[in-house]
Amino acid sequence: MTSRSAIRFWFRGELQVIEDFQPTETVLDFLRLRQSACGTKEGCAEGDCGACTVAVVRPVGEELRIEAVNACIQFLGTLDGSVLFTVEDLKMEGDELHPVQAAMVKHHGSQCGFCTPGIVMSLFAQTHQNRPADRAELEDCLAGNLCRCTGYKPILDAGIDATAVATDTAEIYRETISEIHDEGELLAGDEGRFFAAPTCKSSLLKLVAEHPDATLFSGATDVGLWHTKLFRKLPKLIYLGRVKELLAIDESAHELRLGGAVSYERARGAFGALDSDIEELIRRLGSTQVRNAGTIGGNIANGSPIGDTPPILIALGASITLESIRGARTLPLEDFFIEYGKQDRAADEVLTEIIVPKLSHSQRFRCFKLAKRYDQDISSVMTGFCFTIEEGKIVESKLAFGGMAGTPKRATNTEAALRGKTLEEACSLVENLSSDFVPMDDHRASADYRMISAQNLLKKALIELSEEEKVATRLKPREAIHA
């Protein structure tokens, strides 16, 4: 297999071949510092404001995806094999404005204009859906684009107009991309400092074995911030986003297998199909930009006590596979989290697969994310509940929580208390959670609030599942969640 030492991507109609770059050079630095292409802005350098949004066309398997991503935390090397679009690219022939731009002007969608390039790019990516978007879709499309001036109304109106008329497709770049797309390994740099992007599992594992001190990353929605905010030196980066085995999504009648580098957005269809609460949770996770880059594998591997997917996965009984050149092992996800900051993963192991059993007939599922803000916020409490109910009684339950301890964790005492109880009886037992957890107490939420709301959310699930109660329990009813 051939190996390359330069990354290649298309930008402004020209092929960029770059050999000399810092592994942590961001796409935003490439644009603003290297290219003096200053249309793309920096508002936060941490993936939260969207001012830096660019669109990237890249192949994933057979599919050509156009993805809005945050240039501020995307490493330049991840552009290999793709086409990069920024706000300056949108003007069409003869200086005609793209429908998104024209609609933004018509609706007075920019005031100070600093968020605007990012907003234009998010909407531009959306127009590639090639169908009119409704308000809810546009709110979702823009959840990662903060605007402090307009109050969003004119931007949403512009989005409605633009998606009604724009006909964009990523397909037209297939040929361009095929020119630079190869299965070749990429290693730019030297032994001491490199950006590596292997394309198959075996070479990945070999590389990791040789460099156990290297930093693995997929979406860099965490790792990017280590660079931009924490001043961590990251001389050796290994990108998982080209490893084909890690990008696979396999579904059978009983389970769903997600490769360790599958992005949220790609997982969303199959994962969200397990239950509409999961669909809504994934939709609320980060923003479009974060979901296009970030992965469930990363959400697990970072060991965070407040990651959104672990409680769901634990409640579903998911397991994960860790592989190194020494071999592979599969363990229940809940055993992976040992204590705060400590996971059951050796330095040379890569999380290669997440195995998610589907719900059986007797299982009922609910998950809730509680955060200060509805969209694009880190949860204060995350819950995943799976109840096996037979003859009106809870025979088994898995009640998993985030934000309630140093790791994502099951409420085993409460699970025991609920066993054999009817749903109504169970409602009065939710206070048992205080025997399971000593919640976190921080600027997102107090320990008290976390405990009270965790109990209430369990109660909410039980009330919803009990047949008698047909009263409204949610601001956004389950029926209103669309996949």
Partner 1 sequence: MPDTQLREVRQPKAHDSAIKQITGEARYIDDQREPAGLLHCYPGKASIASGKVVAMDLSAVAAAPGVVSLIKVADIPGKNDCSPIFGDDPIISEGQITFHGQVIFAVLAETRDQARWAAQLAKVEYEEEKAFISVEQANSNDSTVLPDYQMGRGDVVVDLAKASNRLQGHLEIGGQDHFYLEGHVSMVEPGEDGDMLVHCSTQHPTEAQHQVADCLGVPHHAVEVRIRRMGGGFGGKESQSGQWACLAAIGAKMTGHPVKIRLDRDDDMILTGKRHEFEASYDVGFDNQGRIEAIDLTLLGRCGHSADLSGAICDRAMMHSDNAYFLPSVAIHSRRLRTHTVSNTAFRGFGGPQGVLSIERVMDHIASSLGIDALEVRKVNLYGDEGRNTTPYEMEVFDNIAPELIEQLEASSNYQNRRAEVVEFNRKNKYLKKGLSLTPVKFGISFTATHMNQAGALVHVYGDGSIGLNHGGTEMGQGLYVKVAQVVADSFGIDLERVKITSTTTAKVPNTSPTAASSGADLNGMAAKIAADEIRGRLAEFAAGLFQASKDDVRFENNEVVVGTERLDFTDLVKKAIFARVSLSSTGYYKTPEIQWDVATGTGKPFFYFAYGAAVSEVTIDCFTGEYKVDRVDILHDVGHSLNPAIDKGQIEGGFIQGMGWLTTEELKWDDKGRLRTHAPSTYKIPTATDTPDVFNVDLFKGDGNRAETIYRSKAVGEPPLMLGIAVFSALTNAVVNATGRMPKLNAPATPEAVLLALRDGDYLV
Take residue 157 and report the two structure tokens written for it: 């109106």
Q: Is 290 in the site for ligand FAD (CB under 6 A)?
A: yes
In whole angstroms, how close is the CB of 256 to ligand FAD at the nearest point? 17
Q: Is 139 in the site for partner 1 (CB under 8 A)?
A: yes
Q: Is 297 in the site for ligand FAD (CB under 6 A)?
A: yes
Q: Which one of residues 16, 30, 41, 177 is an interface residue with partner 1 (CB under 8 A)?
A: 41
In whole angstroms, how close is the CB of 118 to ligand FES at the nearest point? 7
Residue 228 CA to residue 50 CA, distance in Å, equals 15
Q: Which one of residues 130, 169, 302, 412 is an interface residue with ligand FAD (CB under 6 A)?
A: 302
270, burial (CB in 10 Å: exposed 0-12, middle 13-18, buried 19+) = middle
Residue 276 CA to residue 294 CA, distance in Å, equals 21
Residue with tokens 């047949």: 467
Closest by CA to 308, choosing from 398, 408, 393, is: 408
Take residue 255 and report the two structure tokens written for it: 């389970």
Binding partner of residue 88 among ligand FES, ligand FAD, partner 1, none, CB under 5 to 8 Å per kind? Answer: partner 1
Candidates 96-104, 186-194, 284-292, 466-474; binding stretch for ligand FAD (CB under 6 A): 284-292
Candidates 18-26, 176-184, 199-207, 210-218; binding stretch for ligand FAD (CB under 6 A): 210-218
Cβ atoms within 10 Å, residue 52: 28
Candidates 40-48, 360-368, 437-445, 458-466; binding stretch for ligand FAD (CB under 6 A): 40-48
Residue 475 CA to residue 217 CA, distance in Å, equals 36
Q: Is 117 in the site for partner 1 (CB under 8 A)?
A: yes
Q: Is 281 in the site for partner 1 (CB under 8 A)?
A: no
Here's the x/- map for ligand FAD, 350-369, by CB under 6 A: it reads as: xx------------------
280 neighbors 481 (Cβ within 8 angstroms)? yes
Residue 470 CA to residue 459 CA, distance in Å, equals 14
Q: Site residues (CB under 6 A) for ligand FES?
A: 42-45, 47-52, 70, 72, 110-116, 147-150
In whole angstroms, how close is the CB of 236 to ligand FAD at the nearest point? 11
What are the residue ranges of helices labelled H in 132-210?
Answer: 135-141, 153-165, 174-180, 201-210
Q: Is 40 in the site for partner 1 (CB under 8 A)?
A: yes
* Dihedral Cα 147, 153, 156, 161, nearest 10 deg: -130
Q: Is 220 in the site for ligand FAD (CB under 6 A)?
A: yes
* E strand or H helix at 217: strand 215-217
Candidates 58-66, 166-174, 317-325, 459-467; binding stretch for partner 1 (CB under 8 A): 459-467
Binding partner of residue 340 among partner 1, ligand FAD, ligand FES, none, CB under 5 to 8 Å per kind? Answer: none
Residue 264 CA to residue 199 CA, distance in Å, equals 20
Binding partner of residue 482 among ligand FAD, ligand FES, partner 1, none, CB under 5 to 8 Å per kind? Answer: none
Binding partner of residue 52 among ligand FES, partner 1, ligand FAD, none, CB under 5 to 8 Å per kind? Answer: ligand FES
Q: Which one of residues 143, 208, 300, 423 is an interface residue with partner 1 (CB under 8 A)?
A: 143
Tell which positions 190-209 bind partner 1, by CB under 8 A.
none
Q: Is 48 in the site for partner 1 (CB under 8 A)?
A: yes
One DSSP character per residue, 294-363 reads -BHHHHHHT--TT-SHHHHHHHHT-EEEEEETTEEEEEEHHHHEEETTEES--TT-EEEEEEEEPP-TTE
| Nearer residue to ligand FAD within complex by CB, 280 or 308 | 308
Q: Is 111 in the site for partner 1 (CB under 8 A)?
A: yes
Q: Which one of residues 7, 45, 68, 234 is an interface residue with partner 1 (CB under 8 A)?
A: 45
Query: Cβ contacts of residue 282 below 8 Å, gap of 6+?
Result: 264, 267, 268, 271, 272, 291
| DSSP assigned state of 26 | B
What are the residue ranges of helices labelled H in 73-222?
Answer: 99-106, 116-127, 135-141, 153-165, 174-180, 201-210
Binding partner of residue 457 among ligand FAD, ligand FES, partner 1, none, CB under 5 to 8 Å per kind? Answer: partner 1
Q: Is 292 in the site for partner 1 (CB under 8 A)?
A: no
327, burial (CB in 10 Å: exposed 0-12, middle 13-18, buried 19+) = exposed
Binding partner of residue 351 among partner 1, ligand FAD, ligand FES, none, CB under 5 to 8 Å per kind? Answer: ligand FAD
In whole angstroms, how close is the CB of 114 to ligand FES at the nearest point? 5
* E strand or H helix at 453: helix 447-465
268 neighbors 279 (Cβ within 8 angstroms)? yes
**Which positions touch ligand FAD (CB under 6 A)?**
46-48, 215-223, 240, 260-261, 285-286, 290, 293-295, 297-299, 301-302, 304, 307-308, 350-351, 378
